[in-house]
């Protein structure tokens, strides 16, 4: 692909991962970002790289692909910038899902059995095993499953490392540059108009996160990617009390919720700095940036159900971001059928950090016309949910 | 007509005056402070310092404060909530009129579980004051290096002598009362160093001298402190600063140096002096997290950022007023005048009441004084030259200057948020209250660009963005807000 130019719009983790794959494949890549790199959604979420929260299906397959790729990508990036790769704080610490009700326990056991058939490592923990793995977790639980493949990154640093590697491979970065519209020739996009001038290229990648819908509209080909707010609590540093990612099994049964109102489920984890990170909520409130104490309160209550011992630990910060989501809850990876030269990668909702590297790999293969690592038809752009068809039933997941 | 409910946050000079004026205007007032007593910075600390300078003045100032305190706290329409922290302000829906909802936790910070309450006032007066600003320099993280305010609090509040051989350094008239109270507590003050040069001071203070004459009280106070230092033969030097502290596990000596007007070190003027404590102060940083959470517009002034207010102390948010040091650093009398104006108007008092005239005059004099103070005691642009790569910039997380430089040097990580997560500067327990403005300034210099434009829904990565304004325990947060106590319960808007 030497000599082919590509513009990636958006320097969130998805855009950074795409820029890296394309630059390594020989594209002349320009990353265009209206703010600073990795500063939007990517810096306002958590860094769970999970397989545990996905049932058998295309998203799980993408998660498994990504989980395989992460260590490889980081090892390769470390050869070019050891510092950037170290800052990623990759920790394959494993996840533990805890059910606190009998109904939840039944669901969890059934869910884990399904995942096992799809190749996910799961390990049922009895009370003693759970207490040994997580001494501070509630004794009042009905079932627990250990997922050794779950891992964690520091998301902004992960995006920065991917971008650093892309730049090392020849990509260029333009920050403070907003894409405003498209220049087309027939059915083909030939350039974008930006706040700092015209930018021509052979192909363009929409990686604008929760703003992907807005960007696509500006380019004349709307896609239905919307924001869904989530809030996270950060405690003051404490001595180690949480050793895995621990989360409640609430979400497993929560199929078909209206998703308009507040949903919370606790994901509790500690960071290298000693703080405990507690996520998170799900609300469809557009781009409303207001912090709602009632939401934080609900998140805190869920976390205490798992870890009663955290009641005395002070919360020193809260932040929130907007998960980019598609009404059918599957990401979008592929060419726009209406405007050739335009590609979309996004809509990963609460899993874009984990899924970024797999999605970028698929994009590269699709753009090169190579066989793909997995079937990408479920992610195609011309499906009803993306092009504004009837909304599919909502589903809940963690993170 | 239903009685207006005014919530005043902060019971320092500004907040107390606001509460008094709001009561006078007929409102129902809830006065909130995280401290257990009213008075704020000024009356918590000042009586002794005044006493040191001139006891009869202390009597006067103290009595005036004491009378006001009694009048306010015993007023039937006033609910006084000590040991109560506002941990969040919740903005109303942008399409709805309304005042931010006030979320508090009540009870001793180190005690058992505090109760969580929330208030929906008709108007809000923010009077949360400022804290000392300290610039980093090599060794400033050593035990024995104090902020001047902390040293003074220790010297007086707890009668702890911070050291036997102390250097007081930085900029601003505040250095003088600090030195005075150290002397009072029995420390030997070796010298008081004002970093700004005589030229800067003269230009700043001597411009428009009639304004200063109107603020004679302040000049008089300073003269008294100066006299006290003279009596103790403490040399006061201008154009000189502590540029390094050294010691093995605690400060043992300081390096001082002569500075140019821009605070660059004049080579060859370095001197070392054995000390066992250093007190530094480089002015004050207003506590802007609550105004920022409320959505108030800030203004940039030479001394830093402050809440923008109009002539009626109104912020950019409807029915949210600001008073005292969050609008500018001008001392207690100005804070009182601002507070009285804000309280009266927040309560719905008529804006052209005769009684407001002297208040407005005094407020305007205070603003002029603040401007002169900032002009005479600026922070010199070349101070970062004091830093070395290994100099700690954020004390909570021990992030050093080299890490800031590295983050700024990489296009992928120079965004404020990314750099913060990578360097960890500002992520610790103080949440950037100390280092935030410094890190923002250094990063802007290193990357050569102003803070980036935020995306829709994502707040600007400013140093004052702290939506959780005070730590709250998970258990307290998880609990539902309690019903309001006492007379406030019957209020329809609750
Ligand atoms: C609370 C919360 C918790 C989460 N937890 C997890 C988790 O544990 N694990 C996980 O995998 N995921 C998690 N996520 C989801 C994850 O954060 C997102 O899926 C991911 O960050 C999306 O990345 P992105 O690159 O698509 O979007 P972004 O990071 O938002 O990047 C898009 C970029 O495009 C830029 N842009 C937009 N429009 C334009 C334009 N017109 N011109 C130029 N630039 C433009 C934006 O400025 C932005 O920088 C969480 C999200 C939230 C909110
Ligand atoms: C050590 C020291 C010496 C000084 N010496 C002099 C002097 O000699 N002469 C002079 O004129 N001025 C002096 N000043 C300045 C003077 O103290 C201030 O001008 C004055 O106190 C400002 O009043 P304020 O009401 O704006 O703020 P403050 O007095 O700081 O009051 C703010 C109050 O708000 C409370 N608060 C803050 N956040 C919250 C929250 N989230 N929830 C609940 N409560 C909150 C605080 O507890 C505090 O009591 C000195 C200041 C200090 C620190």
**Residue ranges of domains in chain B, CATH in brackets:** 5-130+285-374+485-489 (3.50.50.60), 134-282 (3.50.50.60), 383-452 (no CATH)
Distance CA B297, CA B308 (A): 6
Other beta carbons within 10 angstroms of residue B158's beta carbon come to 9
Tens-place pLDDT, residues B408-448: 888 888 888 888 888 888 888 888 888 888 888 888 888 87
b/e sequence A138-164, b meaning 16+ C-beta within 10 Å: beebbbbbbbbbbbbbbbbbbbbbbbb
Q: How confident is the model at residue B227 (pLDDT cuts 50, 70, 90)?
A: confident
Tens-place pLDDT, residues A169-208: 999 999 999 999 999 999 999 999 999 999 999 999 999 9
List of chain B residues whose C-beta atoms are within 8 Å of the C-beta of residue A31: none
CA B350 – ligand 1 centroid, Å: 49
Tens-place pLDDT, residues A289-337: 888 999 999 999 999 999 999 999 999 999 999 999 999 999 999 999 9
Least confident of B41-50, B113-122, B137-146, B427-436: B41-50
Residue ranges covered by each domain of chain A = 5-76+155-225+328-390, 95-148+227-325
Which positions 154-193 of A are in contact with B (Cβ < 8 Å)?
Answer: 154, 156-157, 159-161, 163-164, 167, 173, 175-176
Q: Report pLDDT for A352.
A: 97
DSSP secondary structure, B14-47, as one string? HHHHHHHHHHHTT-EEEEE-SSSSS-HHHHHHHH
Contact A36 B421 (CB under 8 A): no
Which positions 423-462 of B are in contact with A (Cβ < 8 Å)?
Answer: 424, 427-429, 431, 449, 452-459, 461
Closest residue (by CA) to atom 51 of ligand 1? A45
Distance CA B13, CA B26 (A): 20
**In this structure, what token pair is assigned to residue B403?**
């890490």
Tens-place pLDDT, residues B61-76: 677 888 899 999 999 9
Residues recorded for chain B: 494
Other beta carbons within 10 angstroms of residue B372's beta carbon come to 20
Q: Report pLDDT for B64.
A: 82
Distance CA B67, CA B71 (A): 6
Q: Report pLDDT for A49.
A: 96
Which positions 116-145 of B are in contact with A (Cβ < 8 Å)?
Answer: 118
Q: Report pLDDT for B57.
A: 53
CA A49 – ligand 1 centroid, Å: 15
A385 contacts chain B (CB < 8 A): no
Contact A164 B455 (CB under 8 A): no
Distance CA A31, CA A16 (A): 8
Phi, psi of B387 (to 5 degrees): -75, 150
CA B286 – ligand 2 centroid, Å: 10
The pLDDT of B219-228, averaged and rounded, is 74
Enter the DSSP assignment of A283: B
Closest CB to A291 among B118, B418, B467: B467
Residues 6+ apart with CB under 8 A from B59: none
Closest residue (by CA) to atom 19 of ligand 2? B331
Task: Using most ligand atoms within 8 A of CB, pick from A36, A42, A246 the residue to mutate for ligand 1.
Answer: A42
Bond preceding residue A359 cis, omega within 30 of 0: no
Query: Of A331, A333, A315, which is closest to residue A323 (Cα–Cα)?
Result: A331
Tens-place pLDDT, residues B167-197: 999 999 889 988 988 888 888 999 999 999 9
Closest CB to B88 among A43, A175, A293: A293
- Whether B149 is in the pocket of ligand 2, judged by its Cβ within 6 Å, is yes
List of chain B residues whose C-beta atoms are within 8 Å of the C-beta of residue A16: 412
Q: How far is CA B262 from CA A219, B4, B192, in A?
A: 50, 50, 19
Which positions 101-140 of A are in contact with B (Cβ < 8 Å)?
Answer: none
Q: Report pLDDT for B427.
A: 87
Query: Of A213, A220, A183, which is closest to residue A332 (Cα–Cα)?
Result: A213
Beta strands at B5-9 and B123-126: parallel, antiparallel or unpaired: parallel
- Would you say residue B52 has pLDDT above 80? no
Of A273-282, A348-357, B169-178, B406-415, the range with the highest mean pLDDT is: A348-357
Which positions 338-357 of A are in contact with B (Cβ < 8 Å)?
Answer: none
Other beta carbons within 10 angstroms of residue B439's beta carbon come to 23
- Would you say residue B492 has pLDDT above 50? no
Residues 6+ apart with CB under 8 A from A367: A1, A6, A22, A25, A27, A203, A343
Beta strands at A95-99 and A245-248: parallel, antiparallel or unpaired: parallel
Inter-residue contact B184 to B232 (CB < 8 Å):
no
Beta strands at B271-274 and A203-206: parallel, antiparallel or unpaired: unpaired
Question: Can you say whether the dihedral through the CA atoms of B208, B214, B220, B221 is positive or negative?
Answer: negative
List of chain B residues whose C-beta atoms are within 8 Å of the C-beta of residue A159: 412, 418
Q: How many CA atoms lie within 13 A of A356 on its CB side?
A: 38
pTM of the model: 0.91
Q: How confident is the model at residue B59 (pLDDT cuts 50, 70, 90)?
A: very low
Residue B149's H or E segment, with its range, is helix B148-157
CATH topology of domain A95-148+227-325: D-Amino Acid Oxidase; Chain A, domain 2 (3.30.9)
- Would you say residue B90 has pLDDT above 70? yes
**In this structure, what token pair is assigned to residue A374?**
């997995």
B96 contacts chain A (CB < 8 A): no
List of chain B residues whose C-beta atoms are within 8 Å of the C-beta of residue A153: none
The pLDDT of B133-161, averaged and rounded, is 85
**In this structure, what token pair is assigned to residue B275?**
């000390």
- Whether B58 is in the pocket of ligand 2, judged by its Cβ within 6 Å, is no
Q: Which of A39, A44, A286 has the most B C-beta neighbours within 10 Å, making it the best mutation to test the interface with B? A: A39
Mean pLDDT of chain A: 92
Top pLDDT among A73 and A289 is at: A73
Query: Which 3 state secondary structure label does DSSP give A153?
Result: coil
Closest CB to A273 among B411, B427, B459: B427
Q: Which residue from B minimizes the CA distance to A285?
A: B457
**In this structure, what token pair is assigned to residue B448?**
């050569």
Query: Of B474, B467, B431, which is closest to residue A314 (Cα–Cα)?
Result: B474
Top pLDDT among B16 and A260 is at: B16
Q: Report pLDDT for B40.
A: 85
Distance CA A36, CA A38 (A): 7
CA B365 – ligand 1 centroid, Å: 49
Which positions 232-291 of B are in contact with A (Cβ < 8 Å)?
Answer: none
Q: How confident is the model at residue B139 (pLDDT cuts 50, 70, 90)?
A: very high
Inter-residue contact B176 to B222 (CB < 8 Å):
yes
**In this structure, what token pair is assigned to residue A168?**
């090392």
Strands, sheet with A95-99, edge to edge from the N-terminal-most edge strand: A123-125, A143-147, A95-99, A245-248, A263-270, A276-282, A226-235, A314-325, B472-473
Query: Of A3, A324, A360, A333, which is closest to residue A163 (Cα–Cα)?
Result: A360
Strands, sheet with B123-126, edge to edge from the N-terminal-most edge strand: B78-81, B28-32, B5-9, B123-126, B320-322
The pLDDT of A195-223, averaged and rounded, is 97
Percent of chain B with pLDDT over 70: 89
Percent of chain A with pLDDT over 70: 94
Which numbered ligand comes closest to the C-alpha of B152? 2
B107 contacts chain A (CB < 8 A): no
Closest residue (by CA) to atom 37 of ligand 2? B128
Beta strands at B320-322 and B304-307: parallel, antiparallel or unpaired: unpaired
Q: Report pLDDT for A397.
A: 35
Q: Pseudo-torsion of CA A24, A29, A30, A34, nearest 10°?
A: -60
Inter-residue contact B118 to B224 (CB < 8 Å):
no
Mean pLDDT of chain B: 87
Tens-place pLDDT, residues B287-329: 999 999 999 999 988 878 999 999 999 999 999 999 999 999 9
DSSP secondary structure, B189-218, as one string? EEEEEE-S-HHHHHHHHHSSHHHHHHTHHH
Inter-residue contact B96 to B43 (CB < 8 Å):
no
Enter the DSSP assignment of B486: G
Q: How confident is the model at residue B216 (pLDDT cuts 50, 70, 90)?
A: low
Please tell me the CATH code under which domain A5-76+155-225+328-390 is placed.
Answer: 3.50.50.60
CB pairs under 8 A between A and B: 163
b/e sequence B449-484, b meaning 16+ C-beta within 10 Å: eebbebbebbbebbbbbbbbbbbbbbbbbbbebeeb
Tens-place pLDDT, residues A195-205: 999 999 999 99
- Whether B419 is in the pocket of ligand 2, judged by its Cβ within 6 Å, is no
Contact A36 B418 (CB under 8 A): yes
- Would you say residue B489 has pLDDT above 50? no
B1 contacts chain A (CB < 8 A): no
Enter the DSSP assignment of A285: B
């Amino acid at each position: 692909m030497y000599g082919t130019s590509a513009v990636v719009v958006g320097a969130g983790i998805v855009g950074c991962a795409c820029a890296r794959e394309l630059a390594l494949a020989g594209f002349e890549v320009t990353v265009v970002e209206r703010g600073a790199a990795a500063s939007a959604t990517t810096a306002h979420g958590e860094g769970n790289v999970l397989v545990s929260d996905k049932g058998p299906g295309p998203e799980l397959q993408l998660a498994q692909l990504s989980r395989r790729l992460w260590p490889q990508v980081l090892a390769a990036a470390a050869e070019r910038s050891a510092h950037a790769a170290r800052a990623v704080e990759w920790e394959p610490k494993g996840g533990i899902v805890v059910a606190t009700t009998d109904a939840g326990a039944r669901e969890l056991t059934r869910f884990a059995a399904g995942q096992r058939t799809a190749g996910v490592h799961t390990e049922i923990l009895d009370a003693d095993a759970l207490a040994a793995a997580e001494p501070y977790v509630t004794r009042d639980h009905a079932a627990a499953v250990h997922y050794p493949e779950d891992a964690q990154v520091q998301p902004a640093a992960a995006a920065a490392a991917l971008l650093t590697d892309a730049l090392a491979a020849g990509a260029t970065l333009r920050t403070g540059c907003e894409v405003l519209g498209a220049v087309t020739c027939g059915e083909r996009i030939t350039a974008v108009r930006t706040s700092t001038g015209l930018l021509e290229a052979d192909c363009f990648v929409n990686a604008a996160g929760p703003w992907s819908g807005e960007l696509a509209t500006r380019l004349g080909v709307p896609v239905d990617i919307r924001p869904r707010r989530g809030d996270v609590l950060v405690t003051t540093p404490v001595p180690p009390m949480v050793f895995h990612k621990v989360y409640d099994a609430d979400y497993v049964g929560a199929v078909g919720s209206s998703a308009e109102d507040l949903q919370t489920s606790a994901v509790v984890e500690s960071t290298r700095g000693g703080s405990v990170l507690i996520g998170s909520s799900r609300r469809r409130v557009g781009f409303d940036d207001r912090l709602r104490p009632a939401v934080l309160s609900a998140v805190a209550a869920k976390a205490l159900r798992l870890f009663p011992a955290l009641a005395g630990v002070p919360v020193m910060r809260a932040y929130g971001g907007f998960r980019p989501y598609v009404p059918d809850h599957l990401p979008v990876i592929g060419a726009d059928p209406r405007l050739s030269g335009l590609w979309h990668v996004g809509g990963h909702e609460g899993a874009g950090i984990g899924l970024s590297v797999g999605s970028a790999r698929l994009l590269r293969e699709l753009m090169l016309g190579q066989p793909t690592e997995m079937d990408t038809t479920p992610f195609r752009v011309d499906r009803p949910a993306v092009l504004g068809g009837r909304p599919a039933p909502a589903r809940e997941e963690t993170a | 007509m239903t009685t207006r409910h005014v919530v005043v946050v902060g019971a320092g000079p500004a907040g107390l005056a606001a509460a008094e004026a709001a009561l006078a205007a007929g409102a129902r007032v809830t006065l909130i402070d995280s401290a257990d007593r009213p008075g704020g910075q000024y009356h918590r600390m000042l009586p002794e310092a005044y006493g040191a300078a001139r006891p009869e003045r202390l009597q006067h100032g103290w009595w005036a404060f004491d009378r006001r305190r009694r009048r306010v706290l015993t007023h039937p329409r006033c609910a006084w909530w000590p040991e109560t922290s506002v941990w969040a302000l919740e903005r109303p829906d942008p399409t709805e009129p309304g005042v931010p909802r006030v979320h508090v936790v009540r009870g001793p910070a180190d005690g058992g579980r505090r109760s969580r309450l929330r208030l929906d006032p008709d108007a809000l007066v923010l009077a949360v004051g400022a804290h000392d600003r300290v610039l980093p320099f090599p060794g400033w993280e050593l035990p024995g290096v104090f902020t001047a305010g902390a040293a003074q609090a220790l010297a007086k509040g707890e009668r702890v002598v911070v050291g036997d051989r102390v250097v007081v350094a930085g900029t601003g008239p505040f250095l003088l009362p600090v030195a005075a109270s150290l002397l009072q507590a029995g420390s030997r003050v070796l010298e008081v160093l004002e970093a700004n040069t005589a030229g800067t001071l003269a230009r700043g203070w001597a411009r428009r001298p009639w304004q200063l004459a109107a603020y004679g009280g302040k000049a008089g106070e300073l003269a008294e402190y100066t006299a006290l230092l003279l009596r103790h033969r403490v040399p006061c030097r201008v154009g000189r600063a502590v540029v390094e502290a050294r010691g093995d596990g605690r400060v043992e000596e300081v390096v001082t140096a002569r500075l140019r007007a821009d605070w660059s070190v004049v080579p060859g003027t370095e001197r070392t002096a054995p000390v066992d404590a250093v007190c530094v102060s480089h002015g004050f940083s207003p506590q802007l997290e609550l105004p920022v959470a409320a959505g108030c517009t800030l203004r940039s002034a030479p001394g830093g950022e402050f809440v923008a207010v109009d002539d009626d102390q109104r912020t950019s948010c409807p029915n949210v007023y600001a008073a005292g040091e969050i609008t500018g650093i001008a001392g207690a009398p100005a804070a009182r005048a601002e507070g009285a104006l804000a309280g009266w108007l927040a309560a719905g008092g008529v804006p052209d009441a005769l009684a407001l005239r002297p208040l407005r005059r005094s407020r305007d004099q205070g603003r002029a004084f603040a401007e002169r103070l900032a002009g005479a005691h600026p922070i010199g642009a070349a101070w970062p030259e004091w830093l070395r790569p290994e100099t700690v910039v954020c004390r909570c997380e021990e992030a050093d200057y080299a890490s800031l430089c590295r983050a700024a040097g990489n296009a992928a990580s120079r965004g404020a948020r990314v750099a913060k997560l990578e360097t960890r500067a500002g992520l610790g327990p103080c949440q950037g209250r100390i280092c935030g403005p410094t890190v923002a300034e250094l990063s802007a210099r290193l990357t050569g660009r102003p803070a980036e434009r935020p995306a829709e829904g994502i707040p600007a990565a400013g140093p004052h963005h702290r939506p959780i304004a005070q730590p709250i325990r998970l258990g307290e947060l998880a609990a539902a807000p309690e019903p309001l106590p006492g007379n406030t319960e019957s209020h329809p808007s609750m």
